[in-house]
């Protein structure tokens, strides 16, 4: 993929909820089209941080999705060739995990000996998630190749000069008690919030202050309305209509991501999509780049 000429950027490598598009077993019109025509498919939510200020670019991923092999290929030019293995890419400089759900850690086994065979790849996660990964025997071949690094909410990790990433604790369904984080990335020029999952804005009192303090906010937009689920309440996600109402006024750019396959904003000419755009929000797309 062709990135912008900016030296430090954040690049969207996926925009969908954990199951991606098409969604397994689904025969809705969107999924049927994606099965029949791959150009209509889209990957699970993932963000790359790319620093091109050195002779060899540095790349970090946020989350290891089930689509990770395609997403690594999207930044192949930035990763460059492996120093010792012909016809292979360098491994990323690190991966930052948001939480333990399938769409965010399901790609970790692809890093193991049967696939990419990484070598002590730094993977940052909450202390609880690090412990959970270490205690899962099924994944030990992959986990043994990772350099698991526990991190604490509010403590920045320095990636490079003038480039940091800071985890923020956010409320999200937590079956294992290991926590969920969003990330604030601060580059030489701009800052970005990446928050693909949250239960409800009401449960996070810091929401408006946090979104107002960054230049770009990439936030959970899984469901547009209850109509998508036959009138049932959405599972642990705010509604797009509420998100836009709350935050369309924030000073920075509001970008919606992590769409469920049922979300009507995915349809180019839908009234729901037009409503979001008219309100001043931006709909994420794969390959979208943000200068940092």
Residue 223 lies in a domain: yes
In angstroms, the CA 256 to CA 284 distance is 6
Least confident stretch, 41-45, 122-126, 225-229, 253-257: 225-229
Q: Could you count the other beta carbons within 10 Å of the beta carbon of residue 221? A: 29
pLDDT at 1: 53
Count each helix (H run) and each strand (E run) in the chain, helices first: 9, 14
pLDDT at 86: 85
Share above pLDDT 70 across residues of the chain, in percent, rounded to a whole number = 96
Residue 207 lies in a domain: yes
Residue 1 lies in a domain: no
User: Domain span at residue 132?
Assistant: 8-291
Share above pLDDT 90 across residues of the chain, in percent, rounded to a whole number = 88
φ, ψ (nearest 5 deg) of residue 227? -60, -30
In angstroms, the CA 258 to CA 46 distance is 9
φ, ψ (nearest 5 deg) of residue 279? -75, -10
Model pTM above 0.85:
yes
pLDDT at 100: 96
Residue 117 lies in a domain: yes
pLDDT tops 60 at residue 21: yes
Give the Å distances, CA to CA, from 41 to 34, 116, 176, 214, 259.
Answer: 5, 24, 31, 30, 12
Number of domains in the chain: 1
Residue 237 lies in a domain: yes
Q: Which two tokens stand for residue 144?
A: 């043994």
Residue 221 lies in a domain: yes
pLDDT tops 80 at residue 4: no
Assign residue 45 the CATH number of its domain: 3.60.15.10
Confidence of residue 234 (pLDDT cuts 50, 70, 90): low
Least confident stretch, 49-53, 104-108, 113-117, 227-231: 227-231
pLDDT at 233: 65
Q: Is the peptide bond before 283 cis (omega within 30 degrees of 0)?
A: no
Q: Are strands 181-186 and 163-169 parallel, antiparallel or unpaired?
A: antiparallel
Residue 2 lies in a domain: no
Residue 214 lies in a domain: yes
In angstroms, the CA 167 to CA 87 distance is 35
């Amino acid at each position: 993929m062709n990135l912008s000429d900016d030296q430090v950027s954040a690049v969207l490598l996926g925009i969908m909820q954990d199951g991606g598009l098409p969604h397994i077993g689904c025969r809705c019109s969107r999924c049927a089209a994606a099965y029949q025509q791959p150009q209509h498919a889209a990957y699970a939510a993932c963000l790359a941080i790319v620093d091109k200020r050195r002779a060899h670019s540095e790349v970090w991923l946020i989350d290891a999705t089930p689509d990770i092999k395609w997403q690594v290929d999207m930044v192949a030019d930035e990763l460059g060739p492996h120093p010792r293995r012909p016809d292979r890419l360098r491994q990323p400089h690190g991966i930052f995990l948001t939480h333990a759900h399938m769409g965010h850690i399901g790609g970790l086994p692809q890093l193991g000996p049967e696939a990419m065979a990484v070598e002590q790849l730094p993977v940052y996660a909450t202390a609880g998630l690090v412990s959970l990964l270490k205690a899962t025997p099924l994944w030990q071949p992959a986990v043994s190749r990772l350099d698991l690094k526990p991190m604490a909410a509010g403590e920045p990790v320095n990636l490079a000069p003038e480039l940091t990433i800071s985890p923020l604790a956010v409320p999200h369904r937590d079956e294992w008690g290991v926590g969920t984080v969003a990330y604030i990335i601060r580059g030489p020029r701009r800052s970005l919030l990446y928050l693909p999952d949250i239960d409800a804005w009401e449960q996070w009192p810091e929401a408006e202050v946090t979104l107002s303090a960054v230049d770009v906010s990439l936030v959970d937009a899984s469901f547009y309305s209850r109509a998508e689920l036959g009138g049932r309440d959405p599972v642990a996600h705010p509604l797009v209509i509420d998100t836009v109402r709350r935050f369309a006024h924030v000073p920075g750019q509001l970008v919606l991501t992590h769409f469920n396959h049922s979300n009507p904003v995915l349809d180019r000419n839908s009234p729901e999509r037009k409503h979001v755009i008219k309100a001043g929000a931006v709909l994420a797309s794969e390959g979208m780049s943000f200068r940092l």
